[in-house]
Amino acid sequence: MFFKSNSVQVRMVPLCREEFAPEVYRPGVISLSRLVWGSFGGGLLLAIIAFLSRQTGVEVLFPPLAATCFINSTCVFLRVARPKPVIVGHFVASIGGLAGVWAGSHLGAGTEYAVACKLGLAVLFAAILMQIFDADHPPAAATAAIPAILPLPMPAYLLPVNMAWGATLAVLFALIWNRLWFEFPAKDVDYREKRLGLYMDTPQVGGMAICMLGFLLMCFQQASSVVHALGMMTMLLGVALLGAHHLFAVVRSA
């Protein structure tokens, strides 16, 4: 049953597979499935990220990942919830943010506008990189902005790979949590055919799998520095494949 208030639709019926269809499980529809499954999933995911971060010693920025948790649990049919934008978005936005902080600290040095310069340039550079690497993910803009105003819980050079670690965990959870009810990542205009059982390009599936391996190896940070270093290199390889495969396709078609 639907209840309409202006443009908002309210749907309250028992949970079933149909309640996770795109026309119901989306922004603009207040449905029992989103209120219960989506909300619980977002909270559970952030709790898992915080727990594993503490247990493994892999520090991440929780505010931007909190927004990712919400999107990956309640807005799953949006393009920004797909694995590539989540993982690559946080990674390249971290780089853009650090570059913006460096540039802004020089442009605004000795003035009261230093923070404004760092914030503006951090988001500017992050936006450029996310678009170049086809990884638009709004929460990643917060990943870029935080280094401009707050001290980081890890050395700056670890921020990109650590945020990719947290983002990969978010993707792994979304794959398990959402696929109990529907295909995730969802089929859309750009991904109409399955590759290796997922609506993703084959390089994306491969890159995501490599990132997941890197995530697992990075979890051994406190047990073995060698395994952790191998995990970071693996994560970088996975992010590179995820983020750059479309660029090679453009070059081949030129």
> Looking up tokens 């923070």, which residue turns up?
115
Report the amino acid identity of residue 147.
P
pLDDT per residue as tens, the chain (254 positions): 444 445 566 666 677 888 899 998 999 988 999 999 999 999 999 999 999 999 999 999 999 999 999 999 999 999 999 999 999 999 999 999 999 999 999 988 878 899 999 999 999 999 999 999 999 999 999 999 999 999 999 999 999 999 999 999 999 999 999 999 999 999 888 888 898 899 999 999 999 999 999 999 999 999 999 999 999 999 999 999 999 988 876 666 55
Give the span between the Cα atoms of 42 and 63, in whole angstroms: 13
Does residue 250 lie in a domain region? no
The domain tally of the chain equals: 1
In contact, 235 and 164? CB cutoff 8 Å: yes
Phi, psi dihedral angles at 137 (to 5 degrees): -145, 100
Backbone angles phi, psi at 49, to 5 degrees: -60, -45
Please report the pLDDT score of residue 135 as a whole number.
97
| Domain annotation covers residue 237 | no
Cβ burial 30-45 (10 Å sphere, 16+ → b, else e) = ebbbbeebbeebbeeb
Domain coverage including residue 38 = 2-187
Q: Note the pLDDT of residue 246.
A: 86
Q: What is the pLDDT of residue 15?
A: 76
Which residue carries 């540039």 as its tokens? 103
In a domain, 202, yes or no: no
Strand 8-11's sheet: what is its strand order?
A: 2-5, 8-11, 29-31
CA 174, 239, 65 angle in degrees (round to 5)?
45
- The reply to whether 117 falls in a domain is yes
- Report yes or no on 132 lying in a domain: yes
Residue 208 lies in a domain: no
Whether 39 is in a domain gets the answer: yes
